[in-house]
């Protein structure tokens, strides 16, 4: 995984989902979306996705790199 891919490789990229807090939909050149911390047992649709702005407003850092 690279620095941008902080989710299991078989999960969809978080940019493919809207932000769960503000509803932002990602387009090329806009702020990226990131999964919140999760464990390997969770399904991707059960994990919260936030855009970078909403993560910063919540005072959250990036999810840790797994593996």
Lowest mean pLDDT among 12-16, 46-50, 56-60: 56-60
- Residue 54 near residue 61 (C-beta atoms within 8 A): no
Counted domains in the chain? 1
Q: Tokens 């999964």 belong to which residue?
A: 35
For the stretch 30-45, pLDDT in tens is 999 988 877 667 888 8
Can you give the pLDDT at residue 50?
92
Contacts of 64 (CB under 8 A, 6+ apart): 6, 37
Q: What is the reported pTM? A: 0.72
Q: Which domain holds residue 47?
A: 1-67
Matching residue, tokens 């996705």: 49
């Amino acid at each position: 995984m690279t620095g941008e891919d902080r989710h299991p490789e078989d999960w969809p990229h978080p940019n493919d989902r809207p932000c769960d807090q503000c509803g932002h939909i990602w387009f090329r050149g806009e702020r990226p979306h990131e999964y919140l911390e999760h464990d390997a047992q969770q399904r991707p649709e059960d994990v919260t996705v936030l855009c970078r702005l909403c993560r910063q407003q919540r005072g959250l850092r990036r999810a840790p790199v797994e593996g």
